[in-house]
Amino acid sequence: MKCQQCDKPAVFHITELEAAEVRELHLCEDHARVYLNQSEAAGGPPEPKPKGGGLTAPLGVGQTADELAALDQKACDMCGITFFEFRNQGRLGCPHDYVHFEKELEPLIANIHGATQHTGRRPSRPTAPGEPLPEGTESLTAVIGMRTGMQEAIECEDYERAKELRDRIRDTEQHWLERPTE
């Protein structure tokens, strides 16, 4: 993770508690020293300067506890994982999370890789007309949601619904497998 004030690595992670608000700060050694000295002199923490591109905002930096709690409850509409679960486990729930949590993941990925755009190889299967995604991606992604729904239907003993979803999953997968290839 980079310092919020410069491009050096953040080595100080400070959580400020002000009344009912929680604020997180991630700073390099130099800026942490400046920050802590200012805090002591002024009797309170200074406002961190916003960093380029507003990348810190989606990370929860400077957000209130309520805003962070709401972010944590945001759940993927395919696999059902919440952002809180991802933050705890460090693993995403399904490929669609990269779309569903794109805003939240962007600063994290930028910090890890120093980039936010893939430039390497791509699958050779053709893209759908007018779509940048490889053919079949949307319907296959929907299958993940159907699997979640099928599990819920079984738990509710709604076997008719479960059977219907199972057939739709099978048809979608079969459609992909039987697609014309070069």
Q: Among all chains, which residue has been given the structure tokens 């120093």?
A: 114
- Of the pair 43, 132, the CB lying nearest another protein is at 132
CB of 178 to another protein, least distance (A): 13
CB of 99 to another protein, least distance (A): 7
3 state SS of 11 = coil
Q: Among all chains, which residue has been given the structure tokens 């949307």?
A: 138
CB of 123 to another protein, least distance (A): 5
Burial of 107 from C-beta contacts in 10 A (0-12 / 13-18 / 19+): buried
As a whole number of angstroms, the distance between CA 26 and CA 172 comes to 46
CB of 49 to another protein, least distance (A): 26
Question: Which residues form the interface with another protein (CB under 8 A)?
Answer: 78-79, 81, 89-95, 98-99, 105, 108-109, 112-125, 132-134, 136-137, 140-141, 143-144, 147-148, 151, 169, 172-173, 176, 181
- Of the pair 45, 80, the CB lying nearest another protein is at 80
Q: Give the contacts of 169 (CB within 8 A, at least 6 positions apart).
A: 143, 146, 147, 150
CA distances from 52 to 6, 15, 71, 103, 163 (A): 10, 22, 22, 15, 51
3 state SS of 23 = strand
- Of the pair 6, 112, the CB lying nearest another protein is at 112
CB of 19 to another protein, least distance (A): 34
- Of the pair 22, 144, the CB lying nearest another protein is at 144
CA 21 to chain centroid, in Å, comes to 23
- Of the pair 18, 138, the CB lying nearest another protein is at 138
